[in-house]
């Protein structure tokens, strides 16, 4: 015989039940002998609980009762139409009404009474399904589980008496011959006949008890998912079905929160060696998950699953009076057992100074009262501290039999958590090495699940979640480059870049599953989320995704003020925005230290030289033991373009206008011509050399006459620039007469920095610069007689975006 159990949303409507009947017909056609177990119709149990509670408080429940009766009567009519069935249901409805009236009169609903109330849902649902099978030409028999499953009197979560139960199943089994028994799930009775229930997952448990009692060849749990998954698919989008599990692995996963199968279900099947299949009613051809004694060991990952049990509290009993004292643990656990508090996890340091244990958050108050009553004298004497409580926690576990004797599993686990800034509060691992359990803050649960899942199950494909602020010229070009390179990175480097948040100055848009980069403009325009730097960062940190990177492609001065908040959230940063690294030296050091302490990244290669490898070259020299003494640089792409083309053939004002129209300069060209941009870059270079320098320590020799610099606005600036054309003409004529060129050069040496317009001859490396090219001449111990030169385009969206892209790739 095979036992098939159906539950969840798969018994939620007449349409779904018709699908179940189709599955049963297929089995009958194969001449399989089967028994069926059904849970109550979807959400009926919740309705009955609510009715019982409302009745006990003398509140109106008639609307719920009407819905309950109507649902069952309609289902009976559609699926069977049997007059005798409707009469039986009507009788049951009358009993339920009378029971609820009694509850209302005494203003109390005990666990015993509630078990009886709940039994109506199971019995009515199974009566309807048995009749529906009969109507479909499948001879069936309604079996009330209270007649065959016997328990103690722990109402709400009764314990099964297997000796009596198995005997009653053996006696009943011959009476089912030639028919399909339809057995009520979840309910049972004590020896005297009082109705009891089997607790959470009780219908699955019923099926397992029945399977063991009839010594079934297989137990099939039909639900609304494709089997047991590697993790919760609602929180881990890439979770997938496990083809096999051992009984031990399934027990561990179910204990720590896997909701497809419940811990008690496995034990009866395990005791008789009955394999369990977890299958999907809505996808019956899918193989699902097989749970058996061995399980298969050809699964590609060392671990089988990651589980999370939320709404837990951590209690800590500690004090010097515990050290070397026997019986403390016994008293602690005994007090909790008497209070009926279940312990999820236990950990104790070898110092014996403290014991930590995790429990369900709902049991916190009961547990604390029980502990403090037990240790009242020790607490009063100061030998033991009052119980310390931490709430809002999640107990997580990784599970897998292949973890045993496999080194590096724990290291890989905690490295993936550490890299994502997830603090582990407590850890426990048994000597069986079947699972590693740990406690974290619940706000990090989803992030932890995804980080661990990526680490163990998707190690060939690393996923980066990118947030981009600033989708102007550089930002939009970066998005285009990411889209163009996406498949190449996945194919050749197993790197998946997932852009999950974008923002301009007006709106922001988020999609944790990834924004379609071929349509990001439309998505952003349609978004109703108003944008500000603070709101974007708040939304980003609340999403709390693993492997996150924030990219700032703005010139905004407010965004860098939030860099410390972002880094503290363990989100790496890549940016061409120079504000943070050129602000105070203390802030510069703080940001670098925040990144280093959290083992994340703060990348700003494009702060100087656009996409040129300048900062990384300096860092590599210093990290490898070299000392950089001096850097001379033509470092402004806009000023390079202007002075590299200023040979007297064009007016200076025309070249400035041309540079502005090409996008090389800021909207107000004075930002460039004042030397402010070069000054910021020189500050960054000086700091990278290892020197503390502030903005007011950089000497800038101005190149603009005061009247031009102090113009009222941009339009007036160009008026004044044209009016002072002779000033610039005089400079270029002097340079030409000396066979020299004009270059705006920054120099930093031994912590001293200056910026000036220089007349340079052919012996200067800057003499031959063209277009918007930058050049950096680096003198160090190793590069002394022949300095290291780095040159190339120092401005432009393509090269700057490419530099940011390279920073992003260097992180992973």
Tokens in use for 519? 């349509």
What are the structure tokens assigned to 151, written together?
């328990």
How far CA 324 is from CA of 319, 320, 328, 379, in Å, comes to: 11, 9, 9, 17
Of 225, 282, 229, whose CA–CA distance to 258 is shortest?
229
CB 614 within 8 A of CB 608: yes
Q: Which two tokens stand for residue 113?
A: 């009474």
d(CA 246, CA 276): 10
Separation of alpha carbons 191 and 160, rounded Å: 11
Residue 376 Ramachandran class (φ > 0 left, ψ -120 to 50 alpha, else beta): alpha
Helices (H), 420-471: 445-457
Cα 385 to Cα 103: distance, rounded to the nearest angstrom: 44
Which CA distances in Å does 353 have to 380, 427, 439, 477, 700?
17, 16, 20, 58, 63
Q: To which residue do tokens 């409302």 refer?
A: 54
Nearest C-alpha neighbor of 404 from the set 248, 187, 560: 248
CA angle, 5 then 10 then 15, to 5° = 125
Phi-psi region of 599 (alpha: psi -120 to 50; beta: other; left: phi over 0): left
CA distance 52 to 58: 10
Q: Is 57 a catalytic residue?
A: no
Q: Which among 219, 191, 218 has a CA at the least distance from the CA of 205? A: 219
810 membership: H or E segment, kind and range: helix 797-810
**DSSP code per residue over 743-756:** EEEEEEETTEEEEE
> How far is C-alpha 492 from the chain's CA centre?
26
Instruction: Measure the CA angle with vertex 743, ends 680 and 554; round to 5°.
Output: 30
319 HSE (CA, 13 A, CB side)? 18
Measure the CA–CA gap between 769 and 755, rounded to whole angstroms: 18
Residue listed under structure tokens 């028999």: 141
Residues β-bridged to residue 441: 393
Measure the CA–CA gap between 679 and 682, rounded to whole angstroms: 5
| Under 8 Å between Cβ of 366 and 341 | yes
Residue 358 pairs in a beta bridge with: 314, 345
Stated as kind and residue range, the H or E segment containing 476 is helix 473-493
- Rounded CA-CA distance 312/300 in Å is 32
Q: Lay out the sheet containing 507-510: strands in order across.
A: 529-530, 507-510, 495-503, 462-469, 548-552, 572-574, 602-603
Are 488 and 456 spatial neighbours (Cβ–Cβ below 8 Å)?
Answer: no
Where residue 344 falls (left for φ over 0; alpha for ψ -120 to 50; beta otherwise) is alpha
Of the candidates 537, 273, 307, the one whose C-alpha atom is nearest the C-alpha of residue 439 is: 307
Among the listed residues 272, 593, 681, 789, the single catalytic one is: 681
Active-site residue set: 681
């Amino acid at each position: 015989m095979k036992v098939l159990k159906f539950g969840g949303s798969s018994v939620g409507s007449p349409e779904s039940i018709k699908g179940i009947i189709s599955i049963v017909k297929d089995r009958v056609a194969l001449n399989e002998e089967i028994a069926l177990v059904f849970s109550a119709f979807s959400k009926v149990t919740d309705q009955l609980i609510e009715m019982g509670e409302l009745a006990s408080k003398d509140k109106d429940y008639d609307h719920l009762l009407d819905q309950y009766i109507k649902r069952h009567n309609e289902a009976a009519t559609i699926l069977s139409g049997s007059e005798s069935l409707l009469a039986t249901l009507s009788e049951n409805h009358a009993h339920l009404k009378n029971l609820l009236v009694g509850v209302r009169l005494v203003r109390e609903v005990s666990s015993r009474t509630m078990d009886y109330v709940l039994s109506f849902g199971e019995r009515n649902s199974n009566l309807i399904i048995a009749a529906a099978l009969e109507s479909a030409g499948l001879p069936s028999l309604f079996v009330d589980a209270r007649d065959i499953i016997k328990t103690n009197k722990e109402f709400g979560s009764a314990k099964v008496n297997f000796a009596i139960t198995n005997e009653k199943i053996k006696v009943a089994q011959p009476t089912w011959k030639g028919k399909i028994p339809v057995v009520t799930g979840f309910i049972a009775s004590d020896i005297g006949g009082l109705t009891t229930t089997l607790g959470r997952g009780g219908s699955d448990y019923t099926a397992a008890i029945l399977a063991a009692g009839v010594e079934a060849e297989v137990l099939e749990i039909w639900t609304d998912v494709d089997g047991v998954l590697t993790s919760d698919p609602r929180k881990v989008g890439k979770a997938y079905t496990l083809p096999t599990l051992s009984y031990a692995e399934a027990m561990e996963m179910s204990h720590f929160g896997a909701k497809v199968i419940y811990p008690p279900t496995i034990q009866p099947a395990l005791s008789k060696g009955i394999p369990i299949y977890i299958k999907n009613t809505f996808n019956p051809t899918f193989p699902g998950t097989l749970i058996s004694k061995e399980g298969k060991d050809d699964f590609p990952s060392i671990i089988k699953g990651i589980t999370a049990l939320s709404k837990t509290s951590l209690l800590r009993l500690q004090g010097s009076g515990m050290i070397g004292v026997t019986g403390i643990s016994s008293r602690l656990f005994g007090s909790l057992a008497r209070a009926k508090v279940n312990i999820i996890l236990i950990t104790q340091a070898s110092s014996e100074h403290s014991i930590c244990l995790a429990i369900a958050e709902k049991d916190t108050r009961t547990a604390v009262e029980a502990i403090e009553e037990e240790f009242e004298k020790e607490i009063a004497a100061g030998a033991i501290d009052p119980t310390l409580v931490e709430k809002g926690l999640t107990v997580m576990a990784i599970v897998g039999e292949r973890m045993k004797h496999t080194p590096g599993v724990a290291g890989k686990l905690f490295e993936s958590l550490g890299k994502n800034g997830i603090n582990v509060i407590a850890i426990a691992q048994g000597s069986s090495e079947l699972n590693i359990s740990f406690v974290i803050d619940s706000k990090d649960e989803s992030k932890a699940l995804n980080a661990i899942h990526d680490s163990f199950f998707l190690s060939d494909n690393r996923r980066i979640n990118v947030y981009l602020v600033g989708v102007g010229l550089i930002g939009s070009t970066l998005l285009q480059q990411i889209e163009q390179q996406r498949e190449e990175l996945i194919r050749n480097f197993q790197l998946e870049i997932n852009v999950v948040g974008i923002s301009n100055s007006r709106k922001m848009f988020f999609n944790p599953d990834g924004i379609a980069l071929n349509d990001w403009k439309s998505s952003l325009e349609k978004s109703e989320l108003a944008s500000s730097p603070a709101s974007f960062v708040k939304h980003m940190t609340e999403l709390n995704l693993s492997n996150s990177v924030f990219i700032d492609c703005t010139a905004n001065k407010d965004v860098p003020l939030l860099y410390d908040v972002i880094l503290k959230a363990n989100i790496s940063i890549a940016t061409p925005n120079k504000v943070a690294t050129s602000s105070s030296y203390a802030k510069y050091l703080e940001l670098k230290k925040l990144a280093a302490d959290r083992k994340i990244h703060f990348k700003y290669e494009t702060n100087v030289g656009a996409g040129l490898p300048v900062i990384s070259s300096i860092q590599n020299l210093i990290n490898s033991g070299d000392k950089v003494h001096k850097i001379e640089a033509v470092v402004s792409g806009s000023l390079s373009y202007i002075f590299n083309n200023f040979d007297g053939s064009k007016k200076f004002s025309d070249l400035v206008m041309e540079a502005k129209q090409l996008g090389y300069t800021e909207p107000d060209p004075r930002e460039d011509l004042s030397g402010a941009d070069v000054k910021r870059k020189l500050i960054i270079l000086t700091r990278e050399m290892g020197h503390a320098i502030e903005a007011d320590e950089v000497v800038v020799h101005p190149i603009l006459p005061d009247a031009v610099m102090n113009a009222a606005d941009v339009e007036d600036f160009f008026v004044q620039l044209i009016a002072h054309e002779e000033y610039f003409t005089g400079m270029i004529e002097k340079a030409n007469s000396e066979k020299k060129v004009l270059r705006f050069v920054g120099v930093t040496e031994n912590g001293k920095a200056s910026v000036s317009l220089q007349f340079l001859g052919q012996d200067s490396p800057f003499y031959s610069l063209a277009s918007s090219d930058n050049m950096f001449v680096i003198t160090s111990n190793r590069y002394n007689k022949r300095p290291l030169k780095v040159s190339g385009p120092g401005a432009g969206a393509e090269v700057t975006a490419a530099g940011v892209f390279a920073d992003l790739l260097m992180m992973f």
